[in-house]
Structure 1
Amino acid sequence: MADQVICALSDVFARWFAYQQQRGIQVCCPEDELRPSPCRYDAQHPERWKPWSRPEMSDLQNIASALECVFHPAIHAYYGHGYAGQITASFKGLAVTLVQPWNEEDFERLQQNLVAHVLMLRRLKLPITLFLATVSDESRVISLDNETGEVVLEQLGKKKRWVLADSLPAFLQRLSPLAQTAVTPAVPVNLPA
């Protein structure tokens, strides 16, 4: 599973960077993003970045153990592969921004947010999901269903969930790159209320 996730994620990165290049867009960090990261590769242009792979993959086992649960293997690969900047893409017309850590500090913050997310779901007696991407509607998030491995669009704090893909690799393979500045879908998305 880890290899499939990493291959699909690497493919998303490659397609996204090629898309930007075809349109003459230089991939840069947001102007306010001055934090160090191994993603920065050009000393003369420190705003430029590309995904960085860890020499040895990390995982989220520490927080899974602390939460006394087992995380789906796909989430370990998704977040443990390395670091990246914001990747914007479209999933069947829905604009998404993949959540990826920028550096080790960001990876630690991500873990804290995942813990808070799981604790909130437990408090609400909802099945565990682990967030993967954001959408423009802040009350919804794209997550990995921890039990089934399906990728779902969920209404935060509610039982409402829509299955987008049967696995994380399948979801990643269906993403279409959006220009770095794009944050809204080009096509309206019709989801049940």
Structure 2
Amino acid sequence: MSINHSSLINALEHFYQRYIQSYHQQHNQGPTVEHDEDWPSPCEQSKGADGERIYWQPVACEPPLDFTNIEQALELELHPDIKTYFGSFFSANLAATASDGGLELLFPWSQKDFERLQENILGHIWMKRKLKQEETVFFAVTDIDDVILSLVNSTGEIWAEKVGKKPHRKIADSMTDFINSLEPVV
């Protein structure tokens, strides 16, 4: 396991812990999501009192989720940080704030959701190639319309970009630095 892989796993685990603690402090219970029987997840713990919501918590993916199929389709090795970020845990998407404002971190909820995520990553990178732009992989949406947060595949840097446009503002030097800078919003 590389140092970067390990530090990113630690940053994600720490953020999850802070998110769950904040949720408990504000709601006197664990985090819940609306139950969707078409999208079951290993994150689901138990039904809430209303029967419509379900308690959940992040679950480590053992072994980590595999990106070989899309790397082969793209003839591109994805940056290790994006594979660690999306491949290490199943989780609900999580709201957070950064120095520049609000965002929602995207995570795969289940194996089925991971497959959908891979299709979206393929489409995103193919669009970048068609536009002759540097390859990025999105991982969060922001409070600003059409602005996403992406990892630049060649460097691992985190940038803001408008959908279909080149990245326009550097946010962090690495995914680990970025995750460590976030505050959970519950």
Asked whether the two chains share a fold, i.e. TM above 0.5, the reply is yes
Aligned position for 1:2: 5
Equivalences for residues 25-36 of structure 1 within 5 A: 26=29, 27-30=31-34, 33-34=36-37, 35-36=39-40
Aligned position for 1:41: 45
Deviation string, structure 1 residues 43-80 (Cα, Å, up to 9, x no partner): 57661000011121123222012101111110111111
Which sections of structure 1, spanning at least 5 residues, go unmatched?
Answer: 180-193
Aligned partner of 1:7: which letter? N
1:18 corresponds to which of 13, 18, 21: 21
- Residues 44 and 159 (structure 1), Cα distance of their counterparts in 2 relative to 1, 3 Å cut: closer
Whether the aligned pair in 1 keeps the contact of 2:159 and 2:167 (CA below 8 Å) is: no
Bigger helix fraction: 2
Q: What is the distance in 1 between the residues matched to 2:26 and 2:100? A: 20
Aligned position for 1:168: 175
Whether the aligned pair in 1 keeps the contact of 2:48 and 2:55 (CA below 8 Å) is: no
Aligned partner of 1:42: which letter? S
- Residues 25 and 162 (structure 1), Cα distance of their counterparts in 2 relative to 1, 3 Å cut: farther
Q: What is the distance in 2 between the residues matched to 1:48 and 1:150? A: 34
Q: What is the distance in 1 between the residues matched to 2:167 and 2:85? A: 24
Whether the aligned pair in 2 keeps the contact of 1:2 and 1:76 (CA below 8 Å) is: no
Structure 1 residue 155: Cα displacement: 1.3
Deviation string, structure 1 residues 89-123 (Cα, Å, up to 9, x no partner): 00114111111011111000000000000000000
Aligned position for 1:96: 103
Structure 1 residue 83: Cα displacement: 0.5
SS at match of 1:58: coil
Equivalences for residues 100-179 of structure 1 within 5 A: 100-179=107-186
Q: What is the distance in 1 between the residues matched to 2:48 and 2:128? A: 45
Whether the aligned pair in 1 keeps the contact of 2:95 and 2:185 (CA below 8 Å) is: yes
> % of aligned pairs identical?
33
SS at match of 1:79: helix
Bigger strand fraction: 2
Give the TM-score normalised by structure 2. 0.90
Q: Which runs of 4+ in 1 moved over 3 A?
A: 43-46
Aligned position for 1:186: none
Aligned partner of 2:62: which letter? P
Q: What is the distance in 1 between the residues matched to 2:156 and 2:17? A: 24
RMSD (Å) for aligned C-alpha atoms: 1.6
Structure 1 residue 28: Cα displacement: 0.6
Aligned position for 1:182: none
Structure 1 residue 138: Cα displacement: 3.5
Give the TM-score normalised by structure 1. 0.87
